[in-house]
Structure 1
Amino acid sequence: MAARSTVDRVTMTALLLPQCLAVAGILYTLAATILAGRWKSGPIPPENGPPVTILKPLHGAEPLLAENLRSFVEQDYRGAVEIVCGVHDPADPAAAVARAIDGPVRVRADRARHGSNGKISNLINMMSDASGDIIILSDSDIAVPPDYISRIVATIAPAGTIATCLYAGRGDAGAWSRIAAAGISWQFLPSVIVGLATGRARPCMGSTIAMRRETLDRIGGFAPFADVLADDHAIGAAAHAAGCEVAIPRLIVTHGCAETSLAALARHELRWNATIRGLDPWGYAGSIVTHPLPLALLGLNLWLVAAALAARLALALRIDRLAGRRTAPIALLPLRDILSFILFLGAFAVRSIDWRGGRFRLGKDGRMSADTEYLT
């Protein structure tokens, strides 16, 4: 009888913990839905602005690359704009795509490497072609609305301010890319909105990092981040350490997803999750509450499952309205949530990552080095 009582207590505890976490997750999801509904943009007064250089590090001809680049050309901005696209290999097909864009677009092809982070090496090389007073760097898979530059410039008008942008997902390469986009829109974006509202998040994201040239000089340029995997986070941290403020304009840009298989999606998200875990272990562990539906399923409580599903559906629909489009078929939400939870747990076992054809070992400070076990 004593053994059976112990088993019953263990079973009850095993069910009670995910149930409690599911309740916390449902409350979090409702809060995220309310906060997302308040993320609205106001008008930007039209005025002449300083010269702007947009840096675009490229690697391969991604789906919709031309459309993404063109969105940076077609801007309602009263000022000079130049776009510098950088590649390491002159034969990179992305270079031909960039050269075909009708607008102030230049391509810098430079094989020089300055560290293990190829993107940062690219940016260092591109800076010799940058002439603008405002420097905006943005990943190649980002598309923006016509008022993007105007809002960015208005945001960094105060001295020592840099800007970054929230983003929603868009599937550019079929079904798996849409599932990947759903993870960004329905999981990642709400967590950042809640983090901003609570003061827990201090994001700086590759979707946009914009600053005045003197601010970039203050943090030492791009060279200090040449061996950092989470370079966007590190740039934000360096800006804060230098007394700068990281501000977020009220707009949502678009991140194009190109995953064509479950394996590609898992590799990408495990790398992403492992990076976040390495930078903020306790914060990452606490983000378990952003997964209420899988937790409710683990708790074997049908009422909680129904409540979690309803809350998650409401949040996904709210985010899609905010983004101005349907990210993925809403029927995929339960599958996407379960997959997100599996990859969340999987990141605790990741010690090295695949990135752009190489394998790197993650350090506790966010730096990366070649994985010697893999190389040998």
Structure 2
Amino acid sequence: MIWLLGGLCLSAIVYYCYAIYAAIAFLRHSHPINPEFHPPITILKPLCGLDSHAEDNLISFCKQHYPCFQIVFTVRDRQDPIIEVVEKIIQQFPDVDINLVVSDRVIGANLKVSNLANALPQAKYEILLIADSDIHVTPDYLQRVVQPLQDQSVGVVTCLYRSLAQGWGATLEAISTATDFHAGVLVSNQLSELEFAFGSTIVIRKSVLEEIGNFAAIADYLADDFQLGHLPAKASYKVFLSNYVVEHVLGNSTVTNSLHRQIRWARGIKICRPWGYLGLIFTYGTVSSLLLVVLTQGSILGWINLAIVWTMRLVMGWIVGAIALDDVVTKKYFWLIPIWDLLHFVIWCAGLFGTTIKWRGQQFRLTKEGKLIPLEQDSGFVSSQWSVVSGKDM
């Protein structure tokens, strides 16, 4: 057992070193901006309820320094309070081409994908940009994230994100994203081409979306953003990781709610990338080094090993989170990284077992393919009401 834990510590150190290298490579890579390349873009924004700083987040997409773009906000529930916010934004930005689609038509178990499918008929342009409602961007966002599409072999562009957090639960999630999850993404991006995308930003050609079967092809999957990168990659298109980092606004969350959310994501990742999920055991140096100290009864060698492993983990976390992502939460709560690592190991173990998740108040079972099976049927699965409002109509 001692040799096994020693091997896991060594593998973690190697991983931390490579993640540092990948982060430095990411910092050095910059896609040149061609001021003459600015194809028209349709932004699809699926909405459900009032997120923290919802109005500011949505407005940031209206303030783009870009010659031609359209925004389609899409909502399922006619009583959703976010509609009032969108209508206010439409009035505030009369020169921006904005549409609001309200439809409860459902094409699958993932209601966010149904939202996107309902918005698609209103999309005027070949290039689509999908971004979650809790994302905030700067005015140069569109100009920067569209640049990789100058290469016709690129089918999807996606972005990393740094989180703005309120409350301890959200703070732990932000630390997780910046110093753990994105470290793995940068390693994957350095080792080979990405085969997945993130809901923070997905730029995809409409022709590529049609080739993979449109939104109907992912309507029953939990990890819809993963599939919007994975399916085009399987169709031989490149998934490009932009050097633009968006801001993800996390609402105030309890530790319990954050844990439930993290376990849901863990089970989704396990199904999408089972071998990669199992391979995470080789990256938990914080845990394996601590176990080695316990097993060797506090030996000097055990403590030296722990000091080396934890130092490398903290250095990796700082370079990835604070430097590469410029994440304010990492800079302020850097000391939480070891605490998160121990907690995340528990989440990883929980993710290994069980196939049920709770998402937006509804229980689902995950199939081996990553599809959602509702355990309680919602009446919204059979109703269908539709309306479209544009800025010109108000």
- Corresponding residue pairs, total: 359
Percent identity reads 30
The runs of 5 or more residues in structure 1 that have no matched partner are 1-12
Q: Is the 8 A contact 1:133 1:213 kept in 2?
A: yes
Change (3 A) 1:99 1:360: same
* Stretch of structure 1 that moved more, 335-344 or 37-46: 37-46
Q: Displacement of 1:43 after TM fit?
A: 4.0
How much has 1:239 moved relative to structure 2?
Answer: 1.1
What SS does structure 1 have at the residue aligned with 2:15?
Answer: helix
What is the 5 A alignment of 1:117-136?
117-136=110-129
Query: Are 1:262 and 2:255 matched, yes or no?
Result: yes
Q: Which residue of 2 aligns with 1:91?
A: 79
How far apart in 2 are the matches of 1:185 and 1:311? Answer: 16
Q: TM-score, normalised by structure 1?
A: 0.90
For 1:276 and 1:58, locate their aligned partners in 2 and report how far apart those are by CA, in whole Å: 24
Q: 2:57: which partner in 1?
A: 68
Between 316-325 and 263-272, the greater mean CA deviation after superposition:
316-325
Q: Secondary structure at the match of 2:65?
A: coil
What is the CA-CA distance between 1:207 and the residue it aligns to? 1.5
Q: Which amino acid aligns with 1:325?
A: D
- Native 8 Å contact 1:165 1:253 kept in 2: no
Matched residue type, 2:369: D
For residues 80-135 of structure 1, give each alpha carbon's deviation from its aligned partner in whole angstroms, at most 9, with x where no partner exists.
Answer: 11111111002212222233333333321111111100011000101122112211
Q: Structure 1's 220 and 200: CA in aligned 2 closer, same or farther, altered over 3 A?
A: closer
Match of 2:48 among 56, 59, 63: 59
Give the match for residue 13 of structure 2.
26
TM-score (norm 2): 0.86
Q: How does 1:1-376 map onto structure 2 within 5 Å?
A: 13=1, 15-40=2-27, 41-47=30-36, 49-77=38-66, 79-101=67-89, 102-103=92-93, 104=96, 105-199=98-192, 201-258=194-251, 260-300=253-293, 301-318=302-319, 319-328=321-330, 329-371=333-375
Most deviating of 223-232 and 161-170: 161-170
User: How far did 1:163 drift?
Assistant: 2.6
**Which stretch shows the higher mean deviation, 98-107 or 285-294?**
98-107
Q: Distance in 1 between matches of 2:21 and 2:133?
A: 31
Q: Work out which structure has the larger RCO, using CA pairs closer than 8 Å and 6 or more positions apart in sequence.
A: 2
Q: Which runs of 4+ in 1 moved over 3 A?
A: none
Structure 2 Cα separation of the partners of residues 56 and 221 of structure 1 = 16
SS in 2 for 1:32: helix
| Residues 227 and 368, structure 1, Cα contact 8 Å, conserved in 2 | yes
Q: Any idea what SS the aligned residue of 1:327 has?
A: helix
Q: Is the Cα–Cα contact under 8 Å of residues 68 and 142 in structure 1 kept in the other structure? A: yes
SS at match of 1:84: strand
Structure 2 Cα separation of the partners of residues 91 and 356 of structure 1: 16
- Please identify, of 39-48 and 361-370, the stretch whose mean Cα deviation from structure 2 is larger: 39-48
How much has 1:297 moved relative to structure 2?
0.6
1:229 deviates by 1.0
CA distance in 2, matches of 1:174, 1:257: 9
Distance in structure 1 (CA, Å) of the matches to 2:68 and 2:281: 45
